[in-house]
Structure 1
Amino acid sequence: MTANHKDQVLAALRACGVREEELGGDLTSRTPLTGDSLLSVPRASREDVAEAIEAADSAFKQWRDVPAPVRGNVVKRWGELLTEHKRDLAILVQAEAGKSMSEAEGEVQEMIDICDFAVGQSRMLYGKTMPSERPGHRLMETWHPIGVVGVISAFNFPVAVYSWNTAIALVCGNTVVWKPSEMCVLSALGAHSLLARAVSDCDAPADIHRLVLADRTAGEAIVDDPRVALVSATGSTRMGKEIAPRVAQRFGRYLLELGGNNAAIVTPSADLDLALRGIVFAAAGTAGQRCTTLRRLLVHNSIADSLVPRIADAYGTLTIGDPRDESVLVGPLVNETSFNAMQQALQDAEAQGGEILCGGKRVLADEFPNAFYVQPAIVKMPAQTEVVQAETFAPILYVMTYENFDEAIEMHNAVPQGLSSAIFTQDQSEAERFLASSGSDCGIANVNIGTSGAEIGGAFGGEKETGGGRESGSDAWKAYMRRATNTINYSGELPLAQGVKFL
C-alpha cells in the first residue's frame, strides 16, 4: 500500500464526514488491490450491537409517526450528498472491493438512483379500497412500519445493496441497524456519515440509522434480537440456512439474497456479436464476484464451435491488474480464500471430465505478492456435474452444449439456485417460452442481455436456494411494512358478514 493511496483513502473519508476519532481499533480494513492493510476501526461488541438496536427501536417510536413524504426528505438529502461525494465514496469502494473506478462509481450511482426511487415511493405507499358486502361499510387496507430493520451486507457490493434496503426502509417509517462486511468497513463509514449528515440536515431523530462495525458475532446478535423486526441479509446459501431458522424461531421476518448460479442460453438464431459482448461482461466483470455473474453457458451444438473460441479470444484481450489504472477491466479476487476456492473448483472440474479452454492462473504475483489477480477461466464440461451445481465466487464460466430448446430449459433449471438468467435469441417464440412459467425458474430472466446489471426499478431477488426475497424496486417496499385490513361502519346499524345473526 503506497502512502499516496492511504492518503487518498483518508481524504475520501474526511470528505464524506468521517471524523478522526472514528478510526483506530482492532478491526482492520485490507485492500485486495495490493493485499496490504488500509486503516483500522473500533470493533463493536455484542453489547454495542444491543445498544444500537435499543437506540433504533426507541427512535422508531417517533419516526413511524412522521408523515411518509417528510421521511422522504431525509432520503432525498442523502441522495444529494451521495451525488456531491460520488467520487469520494467510490474511492472507498474501489479500495475495499477491488473494483474498477467505473464499477465503483456505478455502485454509488445505484445508491443515488434508489434514493430517487424511494423519495417517489414515500408518496405512493398505497393501500386498496375494497367493496364491502355490508351496506354502510367501507373495507380498505393500510400499510404501517414494522420497526427496526437489520441489514447485513456482503463485500462484493459494499454499499449499493445496503442502500436498497435502507432507503426503502426509512421512507416506510422503519429504523435501520447496519452490519456491513468486515472487509468493507471504510466504505460503510463513508456511506453512514453521509446519511447521518442528511438526518441532521432534516432534523430527523439521530438514531434512525445505526452502524455497527464488527465480525460475524455482530450479525448473530442482530439475527437473534427480538427487537429486530426484519433481517435483510446478503451472502451465501450456507449463511441463509443459518439465519432463516433462527429468525423464524422468534417469529421475525427475513429477506434473504443468497447464492446465484446463473446461466445464459444461446440459440442458433442469436446475434452472436451481441451475445459475445453480453457474455464476456457478465462472466468476467468484477472478477466474477457478482451474485449475478454468468457461471454457466448453454450453447446450441450447431454454433458452439464458432461462438466459444470467440469468447476465449475476447478473454485474451481483457486487461487484468490494479483497477486504479483506468485501462484495467478485471481487478483482483477479494482474498486468498477466494483464490483457493477457484483453484479447487478448476481441479474438481477437470476431475469431473472438464477441459480448461483458457485462464484460471494467477498473474501479477511478483508485483503484488499479497494480492490475488487471476485470469478469468472458461471450462468446457460434458454435463452439469457436482462442481457446476455449486457456486464458486470467482470468474469461472462452464460451457455446455444442448440439442433442442426443451433440453436447454431443463439444463438451465437443474441447479439449486435461481437468481438471474438470460437467453440470446432472435426467435420470439424462444424468448417468450424462456419467460413463461415453464421457462426460466429464476427471479430475473433477461432476453438479449447478460445476467448482470440489474436496474433499481425492478424488484431484485431469486428463487430456490437464492432465498426468495425481493429488494429495490417494483413493490419490494411491502417487505418493510405490515398490512392491516380495516372495516369502517358508518351505517348506524351492525350487520354481520355472511348474513350471520347473533342478537
Structure 2
Amino acid sequence: MAAQTLAGDIARDTQDILARLGVAPNRRLDGALEARSPITGEAIGRVDAGGAASTKAAIACADAAFLVWRNVPAPRRGELVRLFGEELRRAKSELAALVTIEAGKIRSEGLGEVQEMIDICDFAVGLSRQLYGLTLATERPGHRMMETWHPLGVAGVITSFNFPVAVWAWNAAIALVCGNSLVWKPSEKTPLTALATETLFERAVARFGSAPDGLSIVVQGGREVGGALVEDPRVRLVSATGSTAMGRAIAPRLAQRFARTIFELGGNNAAVVCPSASLDLAVRAIAFAAMGTAGQRCTTLRRLFVHETVYDDLMARLRAAFTAVSVGDPREDATLVGPLIDEDAYGAMRRALDDARMAGGVVVGGERALADRFPAAFYARPALVAMPEQTAIVKQETFAPILYVMKYRDFDEAMRLQNEVAHGLSSSIFTNDMREAERFLSAEGSDCGIANVNIGPSGAEIGGAFGGEKDSGGGREAGSDSWKAYMRRATNTINYSEELPLAQGVAFDVPQNGT
C-alpha cells in the first residue's frame, strides 16, 4: 500500500512540476507514449508520439527555418542561446527534479545535468563571436587565400535516457549559434523532460522575438521516428547518442547519403592504479565513477587494473565503500545510488554477474534492493567483482553498476589490458610518477578520446571536446573546436592583381585575338 501511495504521489508531483514549468496539460496527458518513473516503476504521464510522416513534416519546417536562420548574424543567434540559458537558470530546480523523477538520478546529479545545459549556453554565447576562419599563405602574388565557415543545415539529434536533456543542449547550443535548425528525437524513456525543455526554449524564442518558426522541434516516438531522421536528405547532420549496436545500424544508412555524423556510443572505461597512487584519492574517485548514476553513464568506470603491491589495500577500501553506499529513492538527500532505468537493465546486470562468477569472479554486492518498498522498480546494490583476468564478460559493456577489478604487474601490461577492448571512450590513471602519467597520455598510452590523471574517467566539463574512438563512435561534442562539425568549410582565393599566375607553376597560355 505504501508503494502505491508513493506512486500516486510521484505522478502528482510530476504533473505539478510540469505545470510550474509552463508545460500545457494538453501536451502531456493524453498521448500514446507513456512515461514511467524508474523510482517506482509507475506511469507518470503521456505524450503524443509521431511516426515517419510527422517527422518528415517536422524536418520540412526545420529546413524552412534554417533558410532564414542562416542569414541571421552569429552574435544575434548567440542572443537567443543567452536567453535560453536565462530560462534554464530560472527553472533549474524544477527541471532537475523532473530529471530525477524520469531518469532516476540523485538530486545533485539532476541539478548537475541542468547546470551542464547552462554552461554550454554560456560557452556558445561566447563562441557566437568566435566562429573564425584562417588567412592562409598563398604562393601566388597579388592573391589572398582564406577559409570561411557557413551553417550546415538541419541537425538531427537523437539522445539517450541517461542524460535526457544535457546531451541535447550540448548539440543545440552549438548548432544554433552556428546557424542551424534542429529536430530532436529524445529517448522514449524520458519524454517529459524533453517536453519541458522544449517549453523553456519556446519561452526564450518568444523573448527573442524574431526567430523563425520550427527552429527547434521535438519529435517523440520510437525507431520509425529515428529512421525518418536518418533517411531524410534535408537532415545534413545526425548526432546520435546510444549503444554501439544502434550506431552500427544507422551508420551505413547515413554514409550512403554522405550525411555528417557525430556518434557518442558505448564505453567500457578503465582506470589504472599505480604503486605511487594516493589510495585515499583513488577510492573517492573510483566510488563515484563506478557507482554514480547507478552505473548508467557512458563514462562509468567498469574496469579497474590495480598494481599487485597495492591491490589488497585498495580492495579492502573498495569493499567498504561498495558495502556502505546508500541505495534508495533518489529524491532523498542521503541516497547516492538510485534505480536502474527498467527491468531489462536489471536483467542485463544479473546475467553479467552470473557470467563473471562462471569465469572465476568473486562478487560483492549486485543483489536487488528495495523490492519490498518498490516492487515495480529495479534497484540494485553496486557490484564489486574481483576477476582473475580480463575475460569476455569484462570486455563487454554492461550498463549497470559493476566494477571488475584485476591485478597487473608492470605498466606495459596495464596499457595492453586498458586498450584491448572494442570501446575507446574514457580512461584514467592514478599515479604520482610523472613518467607513468606522461606515458599514459602519450601515443603509446590510452587509446581513448578522454584520458585523465588522478581523477576518474568523467568528461563532464563542457570546455573540452567530449567523445571517444573505436566502437565509441569517433564523434566530438561540446567544447574545444567541436563547433566545426556543425558547419561547412569553404576555401576561398581572391585575386586582386591584373595577373593570373597558376599554382605549382602550371603554364596554360591560350592565344588571343587570333594570334
How would you bin the TM-score normalised by the shorter chain? over 0.9
Among candidates 466, 480, 483, match of residue 460 of structure 1: 466
- Aligned position for 2:15: 10
Residue 288 of structure 2 corresponds to residue 281 of structure 1 = yes
Q: Is the 8 A contact 2:362 2:387 kept in 1?
A: yes
Determine helix, strand or coil for the equivalent of 1:387: coil
- 2 CA distance for matches of 1:79 and 1:285? 26
Match for 1:492: what amino acid?
Answer: E
Match for 1:340: what amino acid?
Answer: G
Following superposition, the deviation at residue 453 of structure 1 comes to: 5.0
Residue 249 of structure 2 corresponds to residue 242 of structure 1 = yes
- 2 CA distance for matches of 1:349 and 1:441? 25
- 2 CA distance for matches of 1:351 and 1:313? 24
- 2 CA distance for matches of 1:122 and 1:465? 32
Residue 305 of structure 2 corresponds to residue 298 of structure 1 = yes
Residue 46 of structure 2 corresponds to residue 45 of structure 1 = no
Match for 1:232: what amino acid?
Answer: S
Match for 2:416: what amino acid?
Answer: E
- Aligned position for 1:190: 196
Following superposition, the deviation at residue 302 of structure 1 comes to: 0.8
Following superposition, the deviation at residue 492 of structure 1 comes to: 2.1
Q: Is the 8 A contact 1:199 1:206 kept in 2?
A: no
Q: Is the 8 A contact 2:35 2:44 kept in 1?
A: yes
Following superposition, the deviation at residue 404 of structure 1 comes to: 0.4
Determine helix, strand or coil for the equivalent of 1:207: coil
Match for 2:303: what amino acid?
Answer: R
Q: Is the 8 A contact 1:200 1:206 kept in 2?
A: no
Residue 315 of structure 2 corresponds to residue 315 of structure 1 = no
- 2 CA distance for matches of 1:40 and 1:355? 43
Residue 100 of structure 2 corresponds to residue 94 of structure 1 = yes
- Aligned position for 1:399: 405
- 2 CA distance for matches of 1:189 and 1:101? 20
Residue 377 of structure 2 corresponds to residue 363 of structure 1 = no
Aligned counterparts, 1:150-229, within 5 A: 150-203=156-209, 204-229=211-236
Following superposition, the deviation at residue 6 of structure 1 comes to: 2.2
When the two chains are superposed, the root-mean-square deviation of aligned CA atoms in Å is 0.9
- 1 CA distance for matches of 2:344 and 2:31? 24
Deviation per CA, 1:115-149: give whole Å up to 9, x if none.
00000011111100012111111000000111000
Match for 1:245: what amino acid?
Answer: P
Judged with a 3 Å threshold, the aligned counterparts in structure 2 of structure 1 residues 16 and 206 are, in CA distance, closer, same or farther, namely farther
Name whichever of 389-398 and 200-209 sits farther off: 200-209
Q: Is the 8 A contact 2:450 2:459 kept in 1?
A: no
- 2 CA distance for matches of 1:8 and 1:385? 45
Among candidates 132, 136, 141, match of residue 130 of structure 1: 136
**Count of residues in correspondence between the two structures:** 502
Following superposition, the deviation at residue 86 of structure 1 comes to: 0.2
- Aligned position for 2:87: 81
- 1 CA distance for matches of 2:408 and 2:71? 57
- 2 CA distance for matches of 1:255 and 1:32? 29
Q: What 5-or-longer segments of structure 2 have no aligned partner?
A: 1-5, 510-515
Residue 364 of structure 2 corresponds to residue 349 of structure 1 = no
Among candidates 490, 496, 507, match of residue 501 of structure 1: 507
Following superposition, the deviation at residue 248 of structure 1 comes to: 0.3
Aligned counterparts, 1:249-268, within 5 A: 249-268=256-275
Q: Is the 8 A contact 1:297 1:400 kept in 2?
A: yes
- 2 CA distance for matches of 1:382 and 1:199? 57
- Aligned position for 2:456: 450
Among candidates 109, 113, 117, match of residue 111 of structure 1: 117
- 1 CA distance for matches of 2:344 and 2:206? 41
- 2 CA distance for matches of 1:5 and 1:341? 27
- 2 CA distance for matches of 1:456 and 1:206? 29
Match for 2:13: what amino acid?
Answer: Q
- 2 CA distance for matches of 1:62 and 1:435? 44
- 1 CA distance for matches of 2:503 and 2:457? 50
- 1 CA distance for matches of 2:114 and 2:205? 19
Match for 1:100: what amino acid?
Answer: I
Among candidates 367, 379, 384, match of residue 378 of structure 1: 384
- Aligned position for 2:335: 328
Identity of aligned residues (%): 60
